[in-house]
Amino acid sequence: MNAEMIITPGQKGMDFSLTIPNIPVSKRPVLENALRGMLALSGIKVRRVNEGGEEVLSADEVFPDGCPAMALRGLRVKEDITQTELAQRLGISQNMISDMESGKRSITPKMAKRIAEEFKVPYKAFL
């Protein structure tokens, strides 16, 4: 297994690219975590970028105080669905949706699974 490493001067320091062909998919996270850990020990923060060179952020990085209520509201708004429409689809009242989105009512595991089915996302986003 050969690797290709490219180090070039960047606008804010040094750009580093590592290409290791033929890495099994199951081994990629292990290698990525090991490299990220080594760089972190050196005090270097690793940025993930997409193919266009734009930084990729996790939901935890974008919403550090994220909560199930925020996830529910965010998905509903993204899908352009009103609280009333979502309530009808789930067979509950609009007030229940409002209470879940405001955090007044917790989202039960059973309800999280129903919401997840509606939006086709993992149910754990609502717990």
Give the C-alpha separation, 89 to 94, whole Å: 11
**Paired residues of 9 in beta bridges:** 14
Angle, to 10 degrees, between the axis of helix 68-78 and the axis of helix 109-119? 20
22 and 1 Cβ atoms separated by less than 8 Å: yes
- Flag the least confident range among 7-11, 74-78, 79-83: 7-11
| pLDDT at residue 9 is higher than 90 | no
Give the C-alpha separation, 36 to 71, whole Å: 28
Give me the architecture of the 62-126 domain, per CATH: Orthogonal Bundle (1.10)
pTM higher than 0.75, yes or no? no
Domain boundaries of the chain, sorted by first residue:
4-56, 62-126
